[in-house]
Structure 1
Amino acid sequence: MAAPSRRTLVKEGASAERTVRELRNQILQGRLLPGEQIRQEEIAEQLRISRVPVREALSVLASEGLLTHRPHQGYFVTKRSPEELAQIGLMLALLEEELTRTIVWPTEEFVAELRSLNADMERLVDEPEWVDMVAINHQFHLRIFGLSPLNLVLDEVRRLWMLADAFIAIDYATRERRRQTVAQHERIIKALAARSRARLLKSFRDHRDTTNVGARAGMAHGG
């Protein structure tokens, strides 16, 4: 059998990226529900692509924690109990607090980059397709936590954020909460620019208290 051409590989790679984005959006917007099975042939037909990039996309989403692979059964949207979500929220609160205590103060250029990310989020607040806010929010927070020298702690926080993104999306379901998030980010940016550790810690605590991944996700699932 002849090896796939470079053009075919590039096309399949682009299709896989598009599939990852489409499935991630469907999960984050609640169109694919926790516990629901992902059927490869249906996704391939829906997106008019072969099953090869679909399999690749499912593997990527499983590595992010959005999907769970069961041998001989297939892929399912990850379903977590309120207790598990509470543990994710607890670990994030503890680890993010330590990262915030140890960050190195950023340059003016870095602060400007954060303002630009938050402006991108603000532009999406009133849009029907607001789901890209979740990825920008993820980038905003991880950029700040990346200022800490605690690399191992940061790696664990990155892993937990992947698990939490779908439930942060639940929190963004209302325009009011999306607008509140942008305002809270602005307070975080101002604290960074002022190089005030106390203000920064308080801003992050207030932000976590209103997001509270574990509690809000539990309520969304009837917990």
Structure 2
Amino acid sequence: MAGRNGRALVKEGASAERTLRELRNKILLGELLPGEQIRQEEIAEQLRISRVPVREALSVLASEGLLTHRRHQGYFVTKRSREELSQIGLMLTLLEEELARTIPWPDEDFILELRLLNERMGELVPGEGWVEMVALNHEFHLRIFGLSPLNLVLDEVKRLWTLADAFIAIDYATMAHRRQTVAQHERIIKALAARSRTRLLKSINDHRSSTGIGARSAIGD
């Protein structure tokens, strides 16, 4: 009996991970629009799973800020106003600059890891699986900022990046922007390898400006 229960828990855990991935991708791809309600029974039926892993996935997405939970109504894709996006952009600009100013210079192994990560992004540029670039871009930047000793600032930047990912993904729908991102990452890597703080700050600021989170109006605004 215990063995069967154990297998059931593993299966439900895997289903929750799959559901989380599917829903996050639908939000990032714009298949689920801001303000749209997520109906648990429909998701469970589409993925042929029970509602338990669906509830778990929805709870995680709500904690990340991609969904909003309304009591007695359910879960909805979070809708951000122009002013809210501007605030997210402002906070990222200020906090990321402090992190970039305080990171110690990485070794060659770290630089190589960044290059491999960016090469993986480059491979995704022409294909239909470009949505994976959003997570890889997230990882690329947070690896760099993770070098900083300002751990509390880093925690806040991680939270803001989660809020911003769905809107960053809008830009990734165009191949030109995907190519631009890879090229800008390469400039950031070169600045790190050269140990030039001035070049690093400029390349990060140029990259952030091209994303335009602070200037973008929300979908459905």
TM category, shorter: over 0.9
Structure 1 letter corresponding to 2:11: K
Aligned partners of 2:145 and 2:212: how far apart in 1? 18
The answer on whether the counterparts of 2:34 and 2:219 sit within 8 Å (CA) in structure 1 is no
Give per-residue Cα distances to partners, 1:43-65, cap 9 Å, x unaligned.
00000000000000000111111
Aligned partners of 2:184 and 2:158: how far apart in 1? 21
Structure 2 letter corresponding to 1:12: E
Partner of 2:54 in structure 1? Answer: 54
Measure how far apart 1:214 and its partner are.
2.4
Aligned ranges 1:1-223 → 2 under 5 Å: 5-216=5-216, 218=217, 221=219
Aligned partners of 2:105 and 2:77: how far apart in 1? 39
> In percent, how many aligned pairs have the same letter?
79
Aligned partners of 1:221 and 1:51: how far apart in 2? 29
Aligned partners of 2:214 and 2:105: how far apart in 1? 30
Measure how far apart 1:136 and its partner are.
0.4
Aligned partners of 2:137 and 2:219: how far apart in 1? 23
The answer on whether the counterparts of 2:62 and 2:69 sit within 8 Å (CA) in structure 1 is yes
Structure 1 letter corresponding to 2:92: L
Structure 1 letter corresponding to 2:160: L
TM-score (norm 2): 0.97
- What are structure 1's unaligned runs of at least 5 residues? none
Structure 2 letter corresponding to 1:21: R
Aligned partners of 2:162 and 2:57: how far apart in 1? 15
Measure how far apart 1:25 and its partner are.
0.3
Measure how far apart 1:221 and its partner are.
2.7
Aligned pair count reads 220
Structure 1 letter corresponding to 2:219: H
- What are structure 2's unaligned runs of at least 5 residues? none
Distance 1:4 1:158, change over 3 A: farther
Give per-residue Cα distances to partners, 1:46-97, cap 9 Å, x unaligned.
0000000000000011111100011111000000101000000000000001
Aligned partners of 1:85 and 1:56: how far apart in 2? 27
The answer on whether the counterparts of 2:126 and 2:175 sit within 8 Å (CA) in structure 1 is yes
Measure how far apart 1:222 and its partner are.
6.6
Measure how far apart 1:215 and its partner are.
1.5
Measure how far apart 1:3 and its partner are.
10
TM-score (norm 1): 0.96
